[in-house]
Amino acid sequence: MEEDTGDRPSTNGTASTVANPTANGCSRRLDDDEFERYSRQMIVPGMGKEGQLRLINSRVLIIGAGGLGCPASMYIAGAGVGTIGIIDGDVVEISNLHRQIGHATFRIGLKKVDSLIQHLMGLNHLPKYIPYPFHLTPQNAADIISQYDLVMDCTDNPATRYLISDICVLLRKPLVSAASIQKSGQLIVLNCPPAPQGSLTPGCAPCYRCCFKKPPPPSSMVSCGEAGVMGPVVGMMGVAQAGEAIKILASALHMPPQSPTDPPERNLHQPTLLIYTYDLESAVGPYSFRALKMGGRKKNCFACGENSTLTLEGIKTGNPDYVQFCSAPTSNVNLPPEERITAAAYHAAKERGELPGHILLDTREKEHFSFGSIEGAVNVPFGKLLMKAAAIKRDGGAASEILPPAESGKGDAPIFVVCRRGVDSQETVEKLKELGLDDQGKRKIVDIIGGMRAWKEEVDPSFPFI
């Protein structure tokens, strides 16, 4: 490998040293290893040696070392970003490995950040890797994020998403945010180029709150662990995230314009929400991408709008309360004690023969149900049950039609409802009562407290709870 003497023309015809490669006054040459390692991407139009040097001088924080963070960090490391921080408080579990491909079977039990950095070191030892083996919190977020040029949100938790976005607004950091659940994923670049809080000049990029003012309803807030996720779907979103981050850093889109000669379009970013859906049940045309154009910064945004009162100090001291804002997945339904029973008490009553002819409704998804269920249970997934209830209300059908045909004619047989963790089942009891299935209190409709998780804990430790 020829030494980079500084006078060799680079691939785009400029000198091989760049006076201002990071647009922040840092000048540096590529050494032989770097030159050879990154040559294939440096010859791509638009990258060049300038772009490579900007990457080398950049600092990226990856929040989450899971299904998004693994592929995202691999491409960020491979591309030669100079400093890579990774934050995650979890340890590697076997159920992670189908999608979290930066870990390994022999590293189960290790902190995810340590496991992933081991993999990344093997891929490219040149970047500086900084592990944060704990979760991001309102107390530590600003101190950590302030040390980086760009943030990648690779989490699966709505409360953390809002926290990350708010801090990025206040610290003026570009944010590449992705999410994936079950068979779909989404990606958006936020806060890029960063503008001061309250600034509404044309072209100001939105923050996460501008695009998603409210968190998803608590009943739909499930993590990958609960709802399931396909590896290639989350992987695709992580790779796309890395692509966007590399583009921003190599083009210095995250920096303010340095000179009047900077082309004005460098700062223009049309916020676009990329949505990927993956139809597992269709053999033909199994994927689709859609790009939704999003608006710019919202005047009345809680975080970046002109009257925002959000501050770093406030966040640190619990204002706003992110957990409450996104409310943990608990039921809003307040059933009286006689309409609830523990899994152990239900089991005991059944064993004593006190529940002849009762109906046991299991409202989990059919995939969960197929892995195991309580003997005699019938499956009506919660989402389908809600749709049926709405149709009965709208079209005026018989309330008993909400039950499977074999159960609908059982008159006043008591109904017990079980779900995965005991949230949907409470709402189901409420819904069945609303439809009048309780016959004005004459028919018992009862929630099994804590769902199948409680069943495993209280009754059957061998139950395959997933």
Residues that bind Zn ion (CB under 5 A): 207, 209-210, 301, 303-304
- Cis peptide preceding 158, ω within 30 of 0: no
Residue (210 or 315) nearer to Zn ion, CB: 210
Residue at 194: amino acid letter: P
Residue at 233: amino acid letter: V
The length of the chain in residues reads: 466
Rounded to a whole number of angstroms, the minimum distance from the CB of residue 267 to Zn ion is 18
Residue 125 assigned as binding residue: no
Residue (212 or 346) nearer to Zn ion, CB: 212
Provide the terminal-to-terminal Cα distance of the chain, rounded to the nearest Å.
53
Residue at 197: amino acid letter: Q
Residue 383 assigned as binding residue: no
Rounded to a whole number of angstroms, the minimum distance from the CB of residue 170 to Zn ion is 11
**Catalytic site includes residue 419:** yes
Residue at 283: amino acid letter: A
| Position with the least CB separation from Zn ion | 301
Residue 207 assigned as binding residue: yes
Is the C-alpha dihedral spanning 16, 22, 25, 29 positive or negative? negative
The DSSP code sequence of 37-93 is HTHHHHTSTTTHHHHHHHHHT-EEEEE--STTHHHHHHHHHHHT-SEEEEE---B--
Rounded to a whole number of angstroms, the minimum distance from the CB of residue 210 to Zn ion is 3
| Measured torsion, CA atoms of residues 195, 201, 204, 209, in degrees rounded to the nearest 10 | 90
Rounded to a whole number of angstroms, the minimum distance from the CB of residue 307 to Zn ion is 12
Residue (94 or 292) nearer to Zn ion, CB: 292
Q: 350 in helix, strand or coil?
A: helix
Residue 210 assigned as binding residue: yes
Residue (68 or 304) nearer to Zn ion, CB: 304
* Edge-to-edge strands, sheet with 272-278: 128-132, 83-87, 59-63, 150-153, 175-181, 184-190, 272-278, 287-293
Residue 99 assigned as binding residue: yes
Exactly one of 204, 211, 326, 419 is catalytic; name it: 419
Q: Where are the alpha helices (DSSP H) in 208-286?
A: 208-211, 224-227, 231-250
Residue 90 assigned as binding residue: no
Residue (175 or 187) nearer to Zn ion, CB: 175
Which are the contacts of 262, defined by CB distance < 8 A and separation ≥ 6?
Answer: none
Rounded to a whole number of angstroms, the minimum distance from the CB of residue 208 to Zn ion is 7
Residue at 433: amino acid letter: K
**Catalytic site includes residue 154:** no
Residue 299 assigned as binding residue: no
Q: 203 in helix, strand or coil?
A: coil
Residue 304 assigned as binding residue: yes
Q: Bridge-partner residues for 190, per DSSP? A: 175
Residue 109 assigned as binding residue: no
Rounded to a whole number of angstroms, the minimum distance from the CB of residue 297 to Zn ion is 6
The tokens for 361 are: 């409704």
Residue (211 or 374) nearer to Zn ion, CB: 211
Give the residue from 62, 58, 66, 63 showing the smallest Cα distance to 82. 58
CB 134 within 8 A of CB 89: yes
Residue (65 or 301) nearer to Zn ion, CB: 301
Compute the radius of gyration of the chain from its Cα atoms: 27
Exactly one of 70, 192, 211, 224 is catalytic; name it: 224
Give the residue from 357, 347, 362 showing the smallest Cα distance to 404. 362
The tokens for 430 are: 């409420």
Known binding-site residues for Zn(2+) equal: 207, 210, 301, 304
Binding residues for ATP: 67, 88, 95-99, 112, 156-157
Residues comprising the binding site? 67, 88, 95-99, 112, 156-157, 207, 210, 301, 304
Residues designated catalytic: 224, 419
